[in-house]
Amino acid sequence: MKLAVFVSDFKLTYDTLDRLKADKLGIIFVANGVYHATTKENGEASSLLNKTLNLYALSEDIQTRGMKDADVDKRVRVVNYSDVVDLIFNEYDKLAWI
Amino acid sequence: MATLTVGCFPGLIGNMSYDFVVKLAGAAVNKGHKVNIWFAGNAAGSVKAHQKHLKDYSTGEKHLKALIEKGVEICTCEACTVARGIQKPEGIEKIQWNAMHWYLAKIHASDRVLQIGGE
Amino acid sequence: MGDVKLAFVVQKPQYKGETSRLAITHAIAYQTVEILLEDGDTVTPTLCFVGEGVLGLQKGQKAMDLYEVTSTETHLKNCLLVDLDVLVCKEDLAKYGISEDMMPDAEDMGADKKIKVAPFSEIQKAMEDAKHILFF
């Protein structure tokens, strides 16, 4: 399956996400989930950034929190709502909000 | 054109997941897709009409009306809504009231489903 | 369109939040959805409990006595009564020290169906087989 997972929190455990397998896995950072894409903890980037090559972060939610698209880890593609719609319909066939 | 059904459970106030749903629905419908929204849990409290938009709080009514005008179908869980003291005549016009099977029926005909649970 | 399979995945504990209960009641609604569908169309949910979602499955719940709300135990029994497939993650039960006999059945209501303790791989399979996944 091609699964896009919306990550909307920063400091939570991701037991389920750690175990999920997909032929194509995408992680879309939204809401407080965008901190995974922008913020290092004790100098370390979020381990979620190693989970897949298909990483996205919602620009509106980055800017809402006072950060810039330029603050985003290079592995993460910054997207807007219109892009998210295209990801949903064109790149993935199932969605999960965790 | 494809169909997206979103299940929204978080409340309007105190949680910006609701705002995400409204924005995503708007973006999808603007691209020509069909969108259905199901409100349950605290989200069901957002269907009450005459919301005052205080700038410290998210607002739903004007966005929901705009989405409905664009063809988005919005339905609230009747049980969730009356449990919060809201009766149908007090609700925003053109928002549907139904039982949980409405959501499952819309899912049946959908290409994509995004279920956003409450916090 | 025929049957559409869904995977309902409950990952949060019961009672503090409403989401976990709503997952169960929404799954049960598969029983009545046919009134809104064309002839021959059906929806078949599989209700899966993973992570902290397994914590609320113990029998002997007193939610009705103490808070006047239907217990998760009762909702689960109703699931079994309407023949819903309920999968509970084996690894997560072990992690939290919950044995299979600590979970309810609905024999007293006449249900043959039982909760199935399943490895996460089986729950993953249910998600792969489903057209849509709903996380609660």
The structural domain count of chain B equals: 1
Confidence of residue A15 (pLDDT cuts 50, 70, 90): confident
Minimal Cβ distance to A82: which of B4, B31, B112: B31
Domains of chain A with CATH codes: 2-97 (3.40.1260.10)
Residues 6+ apart with CB under 8 A from B68: B74, B94, B95
Mean pLDDT of A7-28: 87
Minimal Cβ distance to B27: which of A6, A84, A95: A84
Please answer yes or no on whether B4 and A88 come within 8 Å at the CB atom.
Answer: yes
Mutate to test the interface with B, among C19, C46, C52 (most CBs of B within 10 A): C19
Distance CA C35, CA B115 (A): 23
Please answer yes or no on whether A97 and B116 come within 8 Å at the CB atom.
Answer: yes
What does the pLDDT look like over C34-82, one tens digit per residue? 999 999 999 999 999 999 999 989 999 999 999 999 999 999 999 999 9
Whole-model pTM over 0.90: yes
Q: What whole-number percentage of chain A has pLDDT above 90?
A: 87
Structural domain boundaries enclosing B62: 3-50+58-116
Distance CA B65, CA B93 (A): 8
* pLDDT for res C76: 97
Q: Which chains touch B (3 or more CB pairs under 8 A)?
A: A, C
Q: What ipTM was predicted for this assembly?
A: 0.94
Task: Give chain C positions within 8 Å (CB) of B6.
Answer: none
- pLDDT surpassing 70 at residue A13: no
Confidence of residue A12 (pLDDT cuts 50, 70, 90): low
The residue ranges of chain B whose pLDDT is under 70 are: none
What is the CATH number for B103?
3.40.1260.10
| Top CATH class, C3-135 | alpha beta
In terms of Cα–Cα distance, which of B37, B49, B36, B41 is closest to B10?
B41
- pLDDT surpassing 80 at residue A55: yes
* pLDDT for res B118: 82
Task: Give chain C positions within 8 Å (CB) of B107.
Answer: 4, 6, 43, 132
For chain B, the distance separating the N- and C-terminal CA atoms, rounded to the nearest angstrom, is 32
Q: Could you tell me the residue ranges of all domains in chain C?
A: 3-135
- pLDDT surpassing 80 at residue C5: yes
Task: Give the chain C residue whose CA is nearest to the CA of A12.
Answer: C12
CA-CA-CA-CA torsion sign (A6, A8, A9, A10) = positive
Task: Give the chain A residue whose CA is nearest to the CA of C123.
Answer: A20
Please answer yes or no on whether B28 and A93 come within 8 Å at the CB atom.
Answer: no
What single string gives the DSSP state of each residue in A20-76? ---SEEEEEE-GGGGHHHH--BTTB--GGGGS-SEEEEEHHHHHHTT--GGGS-TTS
Contact C54, C96 (CB under 8 A): yes
* pLDDT for res C90: 98
Q: Cα–Cα distances in Å, from C74 out to A24, B53, C57, C60, C80?
A: 38, 40, 10, 10, 10
Contact A4, A28 (CB under 8 A): yes
Average pLDDT along chain A: 94
CB pairs under 8 A between A and B: 47
Residues 5-24 (B) with a CB less than 8 A from some CB of C? 7, 9
Task: Give the chain A residue whose CA is nearest to the CA of B7.
Answer: A97
Task: Give chain C positions within 8 Å (CB) of B104.
Answer: 6, 26, 29-30, 33, 43, 45
| Closest CA of chain B from C69, distance in Å | 12
Query: Which stretches of chain A sit within 8 Å of chain C by CB?
Result: 1, 3, 13, 15-16, 19-21, 94-98
Q: What whole-number percentage of chain B has pLDDT above 70?
A: 100
In terms of Cα–Cα distance, which of B97, B109, B23, B105 is closest to B67?
B23
